[in-house]
Amino acid sequence: MENSLIGFNMKTKIIISLSTFFLLLGCSSIKISTTEIGTNLQEVAINNAVENFSTNCNLFKNDSVFSVNFEDSVFYKSTLIQADKTKYKDGRTHQWERGDLYDGIVSVEIVGTRYKYYYSEETKDKLPTKYVIKNGKLFYWWDDNYPVTEEIITVLWKYNILQKDYIISEFLSDDSQKGAHYYFCKNDLSKYKRVVTNIGLGYYKPPKLKCN
């Protein structure tokens, strides 16, 4: 979630077209790893989410490539307020104000994607750094603790999400496309809830978790 406020004019069309339906699920029977001292919280949370998604979520059937995003801070629903005209000079009338911090919670977002990344020797360091394959389907993400390797580059080529020609992407987001959002207790990753929705993180009320 970006720290900056997002203008009303950029988001109004998306919000209007979004469905308010979302599915909330609790813990399942899938074996969930907990964090231990010295482990990578992001990596464990992502692997837990991918494991559940690939076995217990119908969205897994819809795509062959999935983008994964980890957030170490979760915020309550953003509020639409009047824009600060001294800060924004582009004519916008409203802006989004981020909600309060949801203390002790981390999140993982999984969404199907067909986006292609430009590949060159100069830009390859900006590519995803981690991946996992489940039942022949690719999940990739960025982790600052790991560099881009030849192994992951080979995998990205295999799944046809790299291109050598610098083409301005005509990729358009589908407002109706749903993703899976996983909310984990930071101190116990075995406690989590999953929301399936087409609304972005931070734009709806997150589920309550008992982390104590």
> Phi and psi of 154, rounded to 5°?
-60, -40
Quote the pLDDT of residue 170: 56
Instruction: Quote the mean pLDDT of the chain.
Output: 80
User: Could you report the per-residue pLDDT of 109-121, keeping only the tens digit for each?
Assistant: 999 999 999 999 9
In whole angstroms, what is the distance from residue 15 CA to residue 160 CA?
31
Quote the pLDDT of residue 36: 47
Q: Taking residues 201-211, report their average pLDDT.
A: 89
User: Could you report the per-residue pLDDT of 6-55, keeping only the tens digit for each?
Assistant: 343 334 333 333 333 344 444 343 445 554 434 689 999 999 999 999 99
CA 87 to mean position of chain CA atoms:
29
User: Could you report the per-residue pLDDT of 75-88, keeping only the tens digit for each?
Assistant: 777 666 677 777 76
Residue 101 pLDDT exceeds 80: no
The full set of domain ranges for the chain reads 8-114+177-197
In whole angstroms, what is the distance from residue 157 CA to residue 131 CA?
13
Residue 209 pLDDT exceeds 90: yes
Percent of the chain scoring above 70 in pLDDT: 71
Lowest mean pLDDT among 4-13, 148-157, 173-182: 4-13
